[in-house]
Amino acid sequence: MENTQQIVERVAELSRLSFSEHEKNIFEVQFGKILHYIQTIENYDLAAVEPLTHIVTNQSSQRDDVPAECLTVDEALANAPKRNETFFKVPKVLQK
């Protein structure tokens, strides 16, 4: 089992984010609280309880396959920090 510091570093890596040691320490405390809270569940005997994926038991509502209006290109790109014509522009993903 990873310790809380390792979990913070792993999640940062998966999210492609980098943090200073100071920030990591803050997250470590916050993550620790959340994990501790969830671990309280381990104090109970749950062998006979079925795993629950959803609070609601009815099935999801579905819709017909009929198109509706989309956003305009300019609306879609309104919050893009950078664009090239009608593309979103993001930092290079593949490194040479």
Partner 1 sequence: MKGLYATAVLRKFALLCHAKGRIFYEFTSKFTMIENYEAIIGLEVHAQLLTATKAFCRCSTSYSLSPNAHTCPVCLGLPGALPVLNSKVVDYAVKMGLATHCSIREYSVFSRKNYFYADLPKGYQISQYEDPICHHGYIDIEVGEESATKRIGITRIHMEEDSGKSIHDVDIDTLVDLNRSGVPLIEIVSGPDMRTAREAYQYLNQIRQIVMYLGICDGNLEEGSLRCDANISVRKKGATEFGTKIEIKNLNSFRNVEKAIEYEIKRQVEAVESGQILMQETRMWDAGTHQTKSMRSKEFAHDYRYFPEPDLAGVSVSEAMIAQIRQSMPELPLARKQRFVSEYGLPWYDAGILTETQSLGTYFEQCCQSLGEQTKERYKLVSNWIMTEVLRYLSEKGIGIEQFPVSPSHIAELVELFAAELISSKIAKDIFPDVIGGESPKSVVERKGLLQISDESIILAVVEKILAEQFENVAKYREGKKNLFGHFVSSTLKELGGKANPRIVTKLLQERLQ
Taking the complex as a whole, how short is the minimal distance between the CB of residue 38 and partner 1, in angstroms? 13
58: burial class by Cβ within 10 Å (0-12, 13-18, 19+)?
A: exposed
Residue closer to partner 1 by CB (options 39, 84) is 84
* Contact in structure between 86 and 77 (CB atoms under 8 Å): yes
What is the Cα–Cα distance from 80 to 76, expressed in whole angstroms? 8
**Residue 2 tokens, joined:** 């990873």
Select 47 or 71, whichever has its Cβ closest to partner 1: 71
Query: 45-84 mask for partner 1 (x: CB under 8 A)?
Result: --------xx-x-xxxxxxxxxxx-xx-x--xx----x-x
List residues near partner 1 by CB under 8 A. 10, 14-16, 53-54, 56, 58-68, 70-71, 73, 76-77, 82, 84-94
